[in-house]
Chain A
Amino acid sequence: MTTLERQFAQTVAEHKSTIYTVCYMFSQDADEVNDLFQEVLVNLWKGFESFEHRSDIRTWIYRVALNTCISLDRKKKRAAEVRLTMDINLFEDRDEDTKQVDMLHKRISKLQPFDRAIVLLWLENLSYEEIGQIVGITAKNVSVRLFRIREQLKQMSND
């Protein structure tokens, strides 16, 4: 392994749960998560060398992961060559914690992709400025969108 490859492997290991969370929120089943995760890793590696640490690495990872999940043509599924190593299946397990996670997944899946991205970033405790930089809108607009998303979620709860 070269130094760059080692750095990449380390970065991925450090941010694996962030990448998984994004993929999970944009997937309907475990196979799709696996598929998206691999595609995100490929895109991260493609941009890793040119990433010059001008922005926070976490911001960059969110950007690549969300772009991949929103833009990927889901009809063209790649063969899952290597599986993710998980002892749990968030789509099928039925313990209390997984039920809570599933509830979150169901709520987020009902939102449009960009709203899904915004609420996901907000849930990850990113500031409005950081969310705005990743999505490409102003911080003020982020707060407006979050207000609308909150209204949508309230509506969903009432339904």
Chain B
Amino acid sequence: MNNENFDLENMRQQMTTLKNKLNQQEIISDRLVRRSMKNEVNTIARRYYIIMAVGLFMVPYGYWCFVILGGLSIFFWIVTSIFMLVCAGATYYTLRKINDPNMMNRNLVEASRRVASAKKFEANWLFFGIPAVVVWFAWFMYEAYQIHGGALSNGFFWGGCIGGIIGAICGLSLNFRTQRQFQEIIDQIEDLTEYDK
């Protein structure tokens, strides 16, 4: 065996050892197989469905909360509802790309490219979402101040600012990590397919 092949050939022997060990194992139970057949919606898809449901629910809930309870303007509620619906629409768009039932049957390059681009879209969404929330919050404060005066608005303001800053830091750090992670996958695909171009 020449030296150049040694590593891979040695690994082939180790793979045979692994296979021999696995062939002696039961590994899966009937219960596990049955559960997988019932559990058609995977974890990622479930998360997206929840986000979409919350986005849609916020439309009637926002009317009750902002207009009836808080006395804010109908126009504020309409814009908030549109924002929520746009969020739900963007979530649906990402979900449709990621949860395509045939995606896992595609070759690795094609499937990974689709997942990476969908995840990057999701991460980029924050660059729209964070400024939109800042504008929304400023508007909310303005209307709350007009109706309820300083004392209550101060509470809203500081609570909103602290929550907003913590949320923005968490969101942006997650965003940068996701961007980097999926950019690496895209770079690897480019490197892998360079020879075939």
For the complex, give the distance between the alpha carbons of A1 and B173 in Å. Answer: 47
- A67–B109 contact, CB under 8 A? no
The reply to whether the CB of A3 lies closer than 8 angstroms to some CB of chain B is no
**Chain B residues, CB < 8 A from A91:** none
Q: Are B14 and A100 in contact (CB under 8 A)?
A: yes
**Interface contact B37-A136, CB-CB below 8 Å:** no
The one of B11, B22, B104, B193 that contacts A123, using a Cβ cutoff of 8 Å: B11
**How many residues of B are counted as interface, with CB atoms below 8 angstroms from the partner's CB atoms?**
55
Known contacts A46-B104, A82-B31, A114-B189, A17 near B8 by CB under 8 Å: no
Task: Indicate whether B124 reaches chain A with its CB closer than 8 angstroms.
Answer: no
Expressed in whole angstroms, the Cα–Cα distance for A107 and B164 within the complex equals 44
Q: Say whether A123 contacts B29, CB under 8 Å.
A: no
Given known contacts A5-B37, A104-B18, A71 and B115 CB-to-CB distance under 8 angstroms: yes
The answer to whether B102 touches A21 (Cβ under 8 A) is no
Closest 6 pairs between A and B when the two form their complex, measured CB to CB: A136-B107, A136-B109, A41-B36, A104-B14, A17-B22, A153-B7
Tell me whether A45 and B40 are in contact (CB under 8 A): yes
Q: How far is the CA of A23 from the CA of B30 in the complex (A)?
A: 19
Known contacts A70-B185, A85-B29; can you find 8 more A-B pairs with CB under 8 A?
A: A12-B28, A17-B25, A17-B27, A67-B112, A76-B44, A88-B21, A137-B196, A146-B8
B113 closest partner in A (C-beta): A136
How many residues does chain A have at the interface if contact means C-beta atoms less than 8 Å apart? 75
Q: Which residue of B lies closest to A97 (CB)?
A: B17
Q: Which of A46, A47, A73, A97 has the most CB of B within 10 A?
A: A46
Q: How far is the CB of B17 from chain A (nearest CB, A)?
A: 5
| Nearest Cβ on chain A to B30's Cβ, whole angstroms | 7
Residue of B nearest to A140 (CB): B195
**Contacts A41-B36, A76-B44 given: A67-B104 contact, CB under 8 Å?**
yes
Contacts between chains A and B (CB distance < 8 A), count = 185
CA distance A138 to B107 in the complex (A): 12
Q: Is the CB of B31 within 8 A of A97?
A: no
Q: B-side interface residues toward A, CB under 8 Å?
A: 4-5, 7-8, 11-15, 17-23, 25-33, 35-37, 39-40, 42-44, 47, 101-112, 115, 119, 185, 188-189, 192-193, 195-196
Q: Are B25 and A88 in contact (CB under 8 A)?
A: yes
In the assembled complex, the CB of B77 is this many whole angstroms from the nearest CB of chain A, namely: 33
* Chain B residue, CB-CB nearest to A121: B108
CB contacts (< 8 Å) of A51 on chain B: these are 105
List residues of chain B with CB within 8 A of the CB of A153.
Answer: 7-8, 11
- Specify the chain B residue showing the minimal Cβ separation from A16: B27
Across-interface contacts of A12 in B (CB, < 8 A): 28, 33
Known: A41-B32, A71-B115, A76-B43. A136 touches B110 (CB 8 A): yes
Is B32's CB under 8 angstroms from A60's CB?
A: no
CB distance from A157 to the nearest CB of B (A): 6
CB-CB under 8 A from B40, the residues of chain A are 42, 45-46
List, in ascending order, chain A residues with CB within 8 A of B35's CB: 38, 81-82
CA distance A64 to B101 in the complex (A): 11
Which B residues are in CB contact (< 8 Å) with A112?
188
Select from chain B the residue with minimum beta-carbon distance to A74.
B181
* Minimal Cβ-Cβ distance residue in B for A12: B33
Complex CA gap A12/B14 in Å reads 24
